[in-house]
Amino acid sequence: MLTKSQFWDYNSYITKLFSLKKMKAKLEALKKEFNDEAEKIKSLVDLESLENKYLSRKSGVLTLLMKEMKSVPKEEMPAVGKLANEVKQFLTNKLETIKSNLGNKNNSDTAFDPTLPGTEQPVGHLHMVSQAIREISGIFEDIGFQRERYPEVEWDYYGFEALNMPAGHPARDEWETFFIDREPINKKLGQRILTPHTSSGQVREMEKGELPIRMTNISKTYRRQIDASHSPMFHQFEGLVIDKDINISHLKGTVEYFVKRFFGEDREIRLRPHHFQFTEPSFEVDISCGVCHGKGCKLCKEGWLELAGAGMVHPNVLKAGGIDPKVYSGFAFGWGVERCYMMKSGLNIDDIRLLYKNDLRVINQF
Ligand code: DAH
């Protein structure tokens, strides 16, 4: 039999043991339950409700359990308190880790908030020269011209010889050509060059042997020149028409049609006599100034702006392409894409090099 005092000692020992054990078990169970739930969290919204469930100040499961600690005997309080804090720390850490993992995944599916404004995706656009090329080829397609493609690395023969400029002809000098430093593969084709103009496509087109011809050749061209109006790489578009009974009025009508569509209905053209070895007669095409409409102003001086070259295909060029000049005739023109683009009404581009500097502040305006 226990004495009365022994009984009380024993009783309080059991109570202490019981409450300490009970609290430990409860905290362990809570930790495990929390951990199981945390493993399943897939969104920030779920994470928030988990945090509320366990840690909310008023009704959190852990908060309530900690309130129960008041029933723990004083001597046991530090041990139980320590354990409770460890569990609380564990919960907080775990919530933090999950939160940053969800943030890294940027899981917009699960963290989707339909009330937030959307993020605008950057969308690129065609470079202005590509835009101009598309517009130009479209304008000519509408009147039956087909766009062809010819090499940028060309033979001397197609660039000069076949265009009535034999080796040593002084007219060649105008083209400031880049020659490629390799032996010619045969005498006829001569040296490799970077084509200095799209006229090199003329005889190549004729050699196909399909008549009539109505083609455009738009491509990169190269010359040893650089300043505000020249870039060593630029683009040209060539037009070539060969058929029976083609005359200057066809040339003038086609050029006028293009100018009105590309530059605007209010622009006029004029043809000035000029010289090219591959056309006879040859012309320089001028368009009326977009600012003063032909009256004369600071920009154009005399009302007209020089645009490009054109002419009736020279009989020697037709012969080089295997076409009989007594039966067929044709006209051709070759203009700079950048030059035309820069002269478009309303565009104030005064340096061709701006088109190739890749400065987004410029490019994104067009
Ligand atoms: N190829 C000449 C140049 O680059 C331009 C040219 C003039 C092309 C007259 C033609 C033409 O087709 O007929 O300067």
Q: To which residue do tokens 């599916």 refer?
A: 109
CA proximity to 286, closest of 347, 235, 343, 346:
343
Closest atom of ligand 1 to 199 CA is 1
* Residue 333 CA to ligand 1 centre (angstroms): 5
Flag whether 107 is in a domain: no
Q: Is residue 234 a contact partner of residue 335, using CB atoms and an 8 Å limit?
A: no
201 CB less than 6 Å from ligand 1? no
Round to whole Å and give the CA distance between 193 and 163: 15
DSSP letter string, 141-179: HTTT-EEE---SEEEHHHHTGGGT--TT-GGGGGG-PEE
pLDDT of residue 14: 61
Question: Whose alpha carbon is nearest atom 8 of ligand 1?
Answer: 334
Flag whether 220 is in a domain: yes
304 CB less than 6 Å from ligand 1? no
pLDDT of residue 13: 61
Give the SS3 label for residue 283.
strand
**Residue 323, H or E segment:** none
**Residue 16, H or E segment:** helix 4-39
Quote the domain boundaries for residue 271.
128-150+210-363
Structural domains in the chain (count): 1
Round to whole Å and give the CA distance between 36 and 53: 14
309 CB less than 6 Å from ligand 1? yes
Flag whether 41 is in a domain: no
Handedness of CA 88, 91, 96, 99 (dihedral sign): negative
Flag whether 340 is in a domain: yes
* Residue 270 CA to ligand 1 centre (angstroms): 16
Q: Which amino acid is at 125?
A: H
330 CB less than 6 Å from ligand 1? no
pLDDT in tens, 30-42: 999 998 999 888 8
Give the SS3 label for residue 120.
coil
Round to whole Å and give the CA distance between 274 and 306: 12
pLDDT of residue 107: 52
Handedness of CA 278, 281, 284, 285 (dihedral sign): negative
Neighbours of 65 (CB within 10 A): 18
pLDDT of residue 234: 96
Pocket mutation for ligand 1, best pick of 221, 333, 340 (most atoms within 8 Å of C-beta): 333
279 CB less than 6 Å from ligand 1? yes
pLDDT of residue 106: 56
CATH number at 319 reads 3.30.930.10
* Residue 172 CA to ligand 1 centre (angstroms): 12
Q: Which amino acid is at 170?
A: P
* Residue 241 CA to ligand 1 centre (angstroms): 14
pLDDT of residue 2: 61
Closest atom of ligand 1 to 238 CA is 12
Crossing angle of helices 248-263 and 128-141, in 10° steps, is 130
Flag whether 243 is in a domain: yes
Flag whether 285 is in a domain: yes
The phi and psi torsions of 220 (rounded to 5 degrees) equal -75, 145
Closest atom of ligand 1 to 202 CA is 12
pLDDT of residue 132: 96
Closest atom of ligand 1 to 279 CA is 13
336 CB less than 6 Å from ligand 1? no
Flag whether 343 is in a domain: yes
pLDDT of residue 294: 80
Flag whether 336 is in a domain: yes
Write out the chain's pLDDT in tens, 366 residues: 566 666 666 666 666 656 777 888 888 899 999 989 998 888 888 888 899 999 988 888 888 888 877 777 777 788 888 888 999 999 999 999 888 888 766 555 556 788 888 888 888 999 999 999 999 999 999 999 999 999 999 999 999 999 999 999 999 999 999 999 998 999 999 999 999 999 999 999 999 999 999 999 999 999 999 998 899 999 999 999 999 999 999 999 999 999 999 999 999 999 999 999 999 999 999 999 877 878 888 777 888 988 889 999 999 999 999 999 999 999 999 999 999 998 886 777 778 888 999 899 988 888
* Beta bridge mates, 148: 217
* Residue 310 CA to ligand 1 centre (angstroms): 6
pLDDT of residue 71: 73
